[in-house]
A and B are shown apart, each in its own frame.
Chain A
Amino acid sequence: MRYAFLSAALIVLFSSARLHAGPPEDSPEWGPQVMHLPVHERQSEQGILRPIPILVELPASIASRTRRVLVHYRLWGAPEWTTIQLRATALLRYEGAIPCLDVSTVTGDFRYFIHVHDQDEHVIARGASRASPYVVVIKNDALLSSPSAPGKCPDPADCPPGLLGCPSEIVDAPCATDRECDDGWVCGREGVCQRWTEKRTRVVVSMQQDFGIVPTTGACTVPSQETQGYACYRGDGAQYAGTPVLTNEPLGFGPGPTRVVVGVDHLLSNTTGIGVRLGWAVLGRGPTPTEGTAFVPVSASARVTRWFSQDPFARLRPFVFVTGGYSMFDIKTSVHVREDPTATPHQPGNDLDQQLTLWKRAGDAFVGGGGGLSLLFAPGTGAFFDRVFVELGAVQVFPFGATVVSPSVGIEVAP
């Protein structure tokens, strides 16, 4: 287990002179006592505009692997957590203070918790948690149960950064997963927590292989080849122009174009997004019959995506989507043709029964949907992308009909 809870490894000391005030030690709403370790000193309340000093002593087994110790705190009523880094003052000790300006003049519960990170920025120990943080009650001086210690910020505007009690440099919170970040924040590919709102727009690049299902009954008649996008070719390469008997033939299944697709997704909410895609068929173009419509390799589509997770940047993110757009699909399959021997022949060399190569140029519009799975690529690896995904789409093409399924694999990049 990667995490060793700080409750078994960490001692937090508060340097205030007003000790042992507040609720009993086993009360869950107070800070240090929840560590269930001998508490040398603790502080349950603090005056306004005064810093909250924090001293952390780590066991040697933890300290030897520690890179930095972070304190995440949140004022009463504040929507977000702020992070400061404690300074190492001795081999096993880290010290710092929540700035008096952050404590401010707002009275009420002040919450914080502590994370200890190793060289890989993994959390190896922690004190309290975001869900159950330490609590210090901020009160006006007159309401304190014991006299307030000196160190009150005299003038917030003159408080030099870096001094005890003054604003500390806010550092990026390292992370390995989204769970280590605050609400509304996600673990970015740089390995630090980022606001997910900053990553609402994402670029996707993928490879897509189309497969089509087309009806083949009557596909090789001259009218079908002239008006329905079919083209049938014999083994000698000649386009079929015979007189087939209308026989019931099974649906044809075959590969379609291979496309490179680029697109943009934009999140409207945690679970819903819209996107556009542009594709280029690099392989799989069929032959164009004489006087036939030329193949257009460009495809364009729009989609609405729904994720099955409140956190759209969770490590594993299944999703479904509906889509529609423009595209041509050249579907290659084969078809059996029975020649009508009683008809006046229009083309020499057609056998009584023959297997023809069938191309169906389906298009130009399509609607459909699909689903997939997006996987967070390990952050901090230096990759230029941060997610990979696989998806399977199924669309109905019209007016030159076909049913097309399109598996694809790609990457997502947060610009």
Chain B
Amino acid sequence: VIGRKAEIQMARYRLFLAAALLAGCSSDAATIPQPDVTTPGAFVATPYGSLGAAGQTPGQGYGLFRTLDVLPYANTNILAIGTYDVQASTLDEARDIARGADPSLTMTRQFVNQMALPTPFSVVWFRTLTAAEAALGQ
């Protein structure tokens, strides 16, 4: 009888231990904040040429711009963006370009209404702005 009680106690202990371990693992479910098109520093891919940037005529693939500043206006936002003179065939390629983008890469500044952004667009990367980049958006 004593052996049986010991077995039950051991089983309870193991169950408690497993529950504690599972509880420890379940705390990983925190939401990781993601950048969006209104986040200064976000790299956004849009259909190439859809923003009408200088020298860009609509074509295949994706163009890339960066959100430099956001100005709330009425019930929307006016975005100060810098358009890169690059063309990517896929979103992954656009992300790779954004990751390796030289901060001194030439950007063309534009102001666009967030509601009028050409679709589809996708935020592919984020990097905090340098002082020069932030000044470009002012």
A290 close to chain B: CB less than 8 A: no
> Quick one: which of A211-266 are within 8 Å of B by CB?
242, 245-248
A242–B129 CA distance with the chains assembled, in angstroms: 12
A388–B27 CA distance with the chains assembled, in angstroms: 50
Residues on the B chain within 8 Å of A68, using CB: none
Residues on the B chain within 8 Å of A160, using CB: none
**Chain A residues bordering chain B, tally (CB within 8 A):** 17
A23 close to chain B: CB less than 8 A: no
Residue of B nearest to A352 (CB): B126
> Quick one: which of B106-124 are within 8 Å of A by CB?
none
Interface SS, B side: loop
- Contact between chains at A345 and B41 (CB < 8 Å): yes
**Chain B residues bordering chain A, tally (CB within 8 A):** 21
A340 close to chain B: CB less than 8 A: yes
A245–B30 CA distance with the chains assembled, in angstroms: 10
- Contact between chains at A352 and B129 (CB < 8 Å): no
A347–B131 CA distance with the chains assembled, in angstroms: 9
Residues on the A chain within 8 Å of B33, using CB: 245, 340-342
A25 close to chain B: CB less than 8 A: no
Given A341-B41, A341-B42, A342-B39, the answer on whether A348 and B32 have CB atoms closer than 8 Å is no
Residues on the B chain within 8 Å of A246, using CB: 30
Most buried by B among A245, A338, A341: A341
Residue of A nearest to B42 (CB): A341
- Contact between chains at A351 and B42 (CB < 8 Å): no
A77 close to chain B: CB less than 8 A: no
B138 close to chain A: CB less than 8 A: no
Given A341-B41, A341-B42, A342-B39, the answer on whether A352 and B127 have CB atoms closer than 8 Å is yes
- Contact between chains at A242 and B128 (CB < 8 Å): yes
A29 close to chain B: CB less than 8 A: no
> Quick one: which of A346-380 are within 8 Å of B by CB?
347-352
Given A245-B33, A340-B33, A351-B99, the answer on whether A345 and B128 have CB atoms closer than 8 Å is yes
- Contact between chains at A350 and B28 (CB < 8 Å): no
- Contact between chains at B125 and A341 (CB < 8 Å): no
A339 CB → nearest B CB, Å: 7
- Contact between chains at B129 and A341 (CB < 8 Å): no
- Contact between chains at B130 and A349 (CB < 8 Å): yes
Residues on the A chain within 8 Å of B126, using CB: 339, 341, 351-352
Residues on the B chain within 8 Å of A345, using CB: 40-41, 128-129
Most buried by A among B39, B41, B103: B41
Given A349-B130, A350-B127, the answer on whether A248 and B34 have CB atoms closer than 8 Å is no
- Contact between chains at A245 and B128 (CB < 8 Å): no
- Contact between chains at A348 and B125 (CB < 8 Å): no
A292–B34 CA distance with the chains assembled, in angstroms: 33
B40 CB → nearest A CB, Å: 8
Contact among A245, A340, A342, A351 with B127 in the assembled complex (CB-CB below 8 Å): A351
A339–B34 CA distance with the chains assembled, in angstroms: 9
Contact among A242, A248, A349, A352 with B35 in the assembled complex (CB-CB below 8 Å): A352
> Quick one: which of B19-65 are within 8 Å of A by CB?
28, 30, 32-35, 39-42
- Contact between chains at A245 and B32 (CB < 8 Å): yes
- Contact between chains at B125 and A351 (CB < 8 Å): yes
Residues on the A chain within 8 Å of B41, using CB: 341, 345
Residues on the B chain within 8 Å of A352, using CB: 35, 125-127
- Contact between chains at A247 and B128 (CB < 8 Å): no
> Quick one: which of A310-352 are within 8 Å of B by CB?
338-342, 345, 347-352
Contact among B128, B133, B134 with A339 in the assembled complex (CB-CB below 8 Å): B128
- Contact between chains at A349 and B103 (CB < 8 Å): yes
- Contact between chains at A248 and B128 (CB < 8 Å): no
Residues on the A chain within 8 Å of B39, using CB: 341-342
A351–B127 CA distance with the chains assembled, in angstroms: 4
Residues on the B chain within 8 Å of A348, using CB: 128-131, 133-134
A352–B41 CA distance with the chains assembled, in angstroms: 10
A198–B129 CA distance with the chains assembled, in angstroms: 72
Residues on the A chain within 8 Å of B99, using CB: 351
Most buried by B among A246, A342, A348, A349: A348
Residues on the A chain within 8 Å of B131, using CB: 348
With contacts A247-B32, A338-B32, A345-B129 known, what are 5 further pairs, Cβ within 8 A? A339-B127, A341-B33, A348-B130, A352-B35, A352-B126
23 A-B contact pairs sorted by A residue (CB < 8 Å): A242-B128, A246-B30, A338-B32, A339-B128, A340-B33, A341-B34, A341-B39, A341-B42, A342-B33, A342-B35, A342-B39, A345-B40, A345-B41, A345-B129, A347-B128, A348-B128, A348-B129, A348-B130, A349-B103, A349-B127, A350-B128, A351-B99, A352-B125
Interface residues in chain B, defined as those with a beta carbon under 8 Å from any beta carbon in chain A: 28, 30, 32-35, 39-42, 99, 103, 125-131, 133-134
The 10 A-B residue pairs whose C-beta atoms are closest, nearest first, are A341-B35, A345-B128, A348-B130, A352-B126, A350-B128, A342-B33, A341-B126, A341-B39, A351-B127, A348-B128
